[in-house]
Chain A
Amino acid sequence: MIRLENVTKSYSTEVVALRDASFDIAKGEFVFLVGPSGSGKSTMLRLLNREERPERGAVWVAGRNIIDMPPSRVPHLRRNIGNIFQDYKLLSNKTVFENVAFAQEVIGKPKHVIRQQVPAVLDLVGLAGKEDRFPHQLSGGEQQRVSVARAFVNRPLILIADEPTGNLDPTTGEGIMRLLDRINKTGTTVVMATHDQRIVNTMRKRVIQLDRGVIVRDQARGVYE
């Protein structure tokens, strides 16, 4: 599903965010990206939906090398990838329903599809009955659930999460993790960057560890260390 081949990414001559990174992630896998702050986790995730492009190497997503994909194809790549962020990135002037519907609206999904799929996904993330609230009327955990719903509503092949529990207390974070686990069980590949030791240690999924841009460990059913 995802393959990195000898990828090197630098932001300037001094800052090399990734150095000669390679890995292979199969369809339906759940992978944690761990490592100290500044080790290149977010950079790695941004390479996958082509927010960034590496200087060297190849990035394969769903069978295509996205490095030399023409810009006009990038939106179609991104429709296959859901994104979740530490700060949720919800639109404050839109309701829960509208925030999720927005992801379908802007890729041209017809109204009747939106009316049917948005309530279903809100139900899945446990927000049924809160469709008409605005983000500021929700707890942090609930806001993150909205963002998960938005990332998942178009049934992407891959879900990318950059420290999704970073702003949440442990219990709430665990709730989000159960949700991601459920989504993963539907066949969606999940790649998640995290600092949360407890979560990595309890989930026992594959762990890829970065240190200063270099992959120093790639372990099935790993722990945080």
Chain B
Amino acid sequence: MFSRLTYTLRETFAGFKRNVTLTAAAIITSAVSLLIFGLTLLIQHGFDNLLQRWEGGVEMIVFVSAGTQQDGLDFIASTLQDQVNTGTVASFEYCDVACSLADADRVLAGDPTTRQLLDETNIPTLFKIVPAESTEVEFLRGLKESYQQLPSVNSVTLAEEQLDLIGKLQGFVSTYTTGLWIALMFASGLLIWNTIRTAMFARRREIEVMKLVGATDWFIRVPFMLEGLIQGLLGGVAAVGSMLFINWRWTQGVQDFPDSSGMTALVVIDGYQWTVAIIILAFGALVGMIGSGIAASRFLDV
């Protein structure tokens, strides 16, 4: 058993030396494909964080037409209270004339001309509504439409443009990066397949002798498969290192952004990057095994 192990390791190592350029190409390709694969997963996760934050913290504002009487306000309030009871709305708050004027003072501080146009008689009062946690974007839209149907409601605002943008960006980024890593991973599988085929061709005399003296197919195959496996794993290790480095640089860089920009949510520091690292290594090993396994079975009859 021990001599079998040393034989296998010796042959695997000899295979690397024999075939340096092709091996390097296979490792680099698998590293790049696995890196893009890992970054795709991280970006997805970052966007998920961001979306969750927007959706969780989002406020809807229902502007009430100026001059609405108390019974009109009561009706809106009771509708919202019903929704609080059924769990679609987390909480709401009425902002009366004084509150709205104070808001206007703050929001329009840089725009005194507009501020001067507003006074107690014409400022719209408003309801600030916090929808329940983790609601879908689509659901928020439905909610917005239903508020617009209510009497005395002037308009409803929702941060849906930002949500839309983020959703689109996420879809865009993940579609193209997914295409990239699949293509590259296929290429690295082919390259590994090719290195193994070349290695087996270089050793066809030895394989012929091995078969004649009664070595089993698995005995002949294993060093080659191990060679492919190690190539995939080395690519995986390089990819994990690069990914962790990029993620670290990104996390550092993002700290300079203002907290309110939302960019700070676009980082992965919750340990998910370690899950991705393991997935990358497993994928690298798998691609190496498949590429070399197919080659080793197919070219055993040399």
> In the complex, which residues of chain B have a beta carbon less than 8 angstroms from the beta carbon of A102?
206, 209-210, 213
* Interface of B: prevailing SS: helix
Say yes or no: A78 contacts B212, CB within 8 Å. yes
Q: Which residue in B2, B208, B211, B219 is a CB contact (below 8 Å) of A78?
A: B211
Summed over the interface, the residue pairs from A and B with CB atoms below 8 Å come to a total of: 57
B216 adjacent to chain A (CB < 8 Å): yes
Assembly CA distance A109 to B4 (angstroms): 8
B253 adjacent to chain A (CB < 8 Å): no
Q: How big is the B interface, by class?
A: 10 to 19
CB within 8 Å for A75 and B216 given contacts A105-B3, A105-B7, A111-B3: yes
Assembly CA distance A89 to B219 (angstroms): 20
Using an 8 Å CB-CB cutoff, how does the interface string of A61-91 with B read, 1 for contact, 0 for none?
0000000000110011111000100000101
Chain B proximity of A56: nearest CB distance (Å): 24
Assembly CA distance A196 to B2 (angstroms): 45
Say yes or no: A77 contacts B213, CB within 8 Å. no
Say yes or no: B214 contacts A76, CB within 8 Å. yes
Chain A's closest residue to B203 (CB) is A91
Assembly CA distance A114 to B4 (angstroms): 13
Q: Which of B1, B2, B7, B210 has the most CB of A within 10 A?
A: B210
CB within 8 Å for A91 and B209 given contacts A79-B214, A107-B214: yes
Using an 8 Å CB-CB cutoff, how does the interface string of B190-221 with A read, 1 for contact, 0 for none?
00000000000000011011111111110110
Chain A proximity of B229: nearest CB distance (Å): 20
Chain A proximity of B178: nearest CB distance (Å): 41
Number of residues on chain A facing chain B (CB within 8 A): 23
Chain A proximity of B218: nearest CB distance (Å): 9
Q: Which of B209, B210, B211, B214 has the most CB of A within 10 A?
A: B214
Within 8 A of B (CB), among A77-125: 77-79, 83, 89, 91, 102-103, 105-111, 114
> In the complex, which residues of chain B have a beta carbon less than 8 angstroms from the beta carbon of A111?
2-3
Chain B's closest residue to A93 (CB) is B206
Chain B proximity of A84: nearest CB distance (Å): 10
Assembly CA distance A106 to B206 (angstroms): 10
Say yes or no: A106 contacts B215, CB within 8 Å. yes
> In the complex, which residues of chain A have a beta carbon less than 8 angstroms from the beta carbon of B1?
108
Say yes or no: B208 contacts A106, CB within 8 Å. no
Say yes or no: A77 contacts B214, CB within 8 Å. yes
Assembly CA distance A5 to B211 (angstroms): 26
Assembly CA distance A111 to B3 (angstroms): 6
Q: Which residue in A89, A114, A154 is a CB contact (below 8 Å) of B209?
A: A89
A49 adjacent to chain B (CB < 8 Å): yes
Using an 8 Å CB-CB cutoff, how does the interface string of B1-21 with A read, 1 for contact, 0 for none?
111100100000000000000
Chain A proximity of B15: nearest CB distance (Å): 14
Assembly CA distance A109 to B2 (angstroms): 10
Assembly CA distance A77 to B208 (angstroms): 16
Chain B proximity of A108: nearest CB distance (Å): 5
Residues of chain B having any CB pair with chain A under 8 Å: 1-4, 7, 205-206, 208-217, 219-220
Shortest 9 CB-CB distances between A and B: which pairs? A79-B214, A78-B214, A106-B215, A103-B213, A75-B214, A75-B216, A106-B210, A111-B3, A83-B212
- Given A78-B212, A83-B213, A89-B205, 12 extra CB contacts under 8 A: A72-B216, A75-B215, A78-B211, A83-B212, A89-B208, A91-B205, A106-B213, A106-B220, A107-B213, A107-B215, A111-B3, A150-B213
